[in-house]
Structure formats: C-alpha cells, structure tokens
Amino acid sequence: MCSPRARRILLWACLASSVVVSCIYNVLSLSTAASLIKATRALEGGGGRLWRVPAAAAALGGVSSLAFNLASCIVLLSKLAERCPSAVVALSVASGMLSVFVLLCGVVLDGFREAVSSQLEAKVSTWTASSTREFASASAFAFIAFVALLMACVLLVVFRPVVEAELGIAPAQPRAAPEDEESPLPAQRGAIQMRGLGEPDDYGAAYGAHGYYVPASKTYENGVFNYEGAARAYGPGAEPGAGGAPFPSPGGARGAARSPLPSPRPR
C-alpha cells in the first residue's frame, strides 16, 4: 500500500489533469459551436436546421464542463467545503453525471464528422479546413474528457477520507446508543403513570406507592422500572440517613393512600 503522501499526490495530480483536459474541451467545443452557428446562417433553405443538432451538442457540452470546473475549483480551493460536509460526495456525483453527458455530446459530434467535410466545407465559404479539424478535435476531446471526468469521480469516491482531511472536514461520528441514561423513555413514563405507580416529574422521578419520593436513578435500571429496588430503598422500614432515607411525599395523604407496589414482572 502507498503512503498517505503518495495517495495525496496521486489524487491531486489526477484531479489537475482532469481539469486541464476539461478546459481544452471547453475551448474546442465552444469554438466549434460558434463556427457551426455561423455556417447554419449561411446555408439557404431548411438545410441549416440539421446543423443545429451538433451546434447545440457542442455548446451544451462546453458550458456544462465549464460550470463544473468553476464549481469544483470554488469548493476545493476555498473554505466553503468546511461548512458543507457533503461537498465531496456532491462533487463525485456531479463528475459522474457530467462524464455521461459529455460522452453523449461526443457521440453526436462524431456522427456528423463525415457530413461536415462533405457538405459544409464545400458549400459554406466561412467553413474552412481548419474548422473541420477543429470539429474533429472537439469530437475526440469529448471522449477524452469523458474518461478524465469518470476517473475524477472514482478517485473522489475512493480517496474521500484524504480529500476531507485536506479540506478540513471532520469525519462523521455515529451517535452512541443511550444505554446509560437514567431517565426513562417518555412512553415508559406514560405507562407508569397510567398504571398508577407514580407521577413522573420533569426529570423522570416518580412518587412511590407508599408516598415516598423515589428518584429515577433508584426506580429505573436500563429503562425498566425496578419495583423491588424502590421498595427496599424507600419502603416504610428504611432508616433515615442509611442510603435510602424516605422523604415525605408532596402528595401527602393522597400518596399514602395509593395501592401497594405490584409484584415484579417476569423477564
């Protein structure tokens, strides 16, 4: 396995080469689209409508690739990624989708390559041999840009921890299960109140059936009501100051008149 420094160098070298290839494709595709638009205006009749297809493919491919390059540079070179933990995932998804779109644009341009040399170069004066070579270069670089963008997508997925470390994005930490919480769940507290075993307050405590104040730490163990523990710690026979001293119930006689504690449920 390569070292982290080698992986970092490989990652940024591949991303830089992908950006360079995309920039070359942007220039060629936009220039080809401008030449095709001029040629379609020079054609008479309905023959110029057919050439709107490669012109639109070249223009859309170049504009989409240019927008992706600008967005990726803003995210990777600025501090925007620190406030957006999913920026690397968004870049990888956008790179994969753009690679497929650029491939489709290249297929459309490649389908008109022979028609360009046989019709436009012969019928349109503004279309020269250099324009034909430029069209062929734009078609070829569309496939090269497809490979470069797809490679960038794979690298962003594989080396995602490296990219997040470079951008200063903290890795996501899974939330631990609340196993040590002393207060019961709201559903359990409601069930206890419905059975008449206590009146839970805001902090999960309850008033025992004999009229003594029972904290949640003594009556609940892992979210289950501890009947025996509460009876032993806060029963009528407990001595004051012996670790389970009873306290008078705020309910007074109403708390003392409650039914005795039921037997524990079998587990």
Each residue's pLDDT tens digit, 137-158: 999 999 999 999 999 888 888 8
Strand ranges (E), 121-195: none
Report the C-alpha gap between 199 and 68 in whole angstroms. 60
Report the C-alpha gap between 145 and 151 in whole angstroms. 10
Tell me, yes or no, whether 176 lies in a domain. no
Do both 161 and 238 map to the same domain?
Answer: no
Do both 104 and 213 map to the same domain?
Answer: no
Report the C-alpha gap between 85 and 26 in whole angstroms. 29
**Which of 111, 135, 167 is where one domain is finished?**
167
Do both 46 and 130 map to the same domain?
Answer: yes
3-state secondary structure of 128: coil
Do both 106 and 224 map to the same domain?
Answer: no
The pTM of this model reads 0.59
Spacing of C-alpha 262 from chain mean position: 51
Tell me, yes or no, whether 244 lies in a domain. yes
Residues of the chain falling short of pLDDT 50: 180-210, 212-213, 216-220, 222, 237-257, 259, 261
Domain coverage including residue 204: 186-256
How many domains is the chain partitioned into structurally?
Answer: 2
Do both 15 and 74 map to the same domain?
Answer: yes
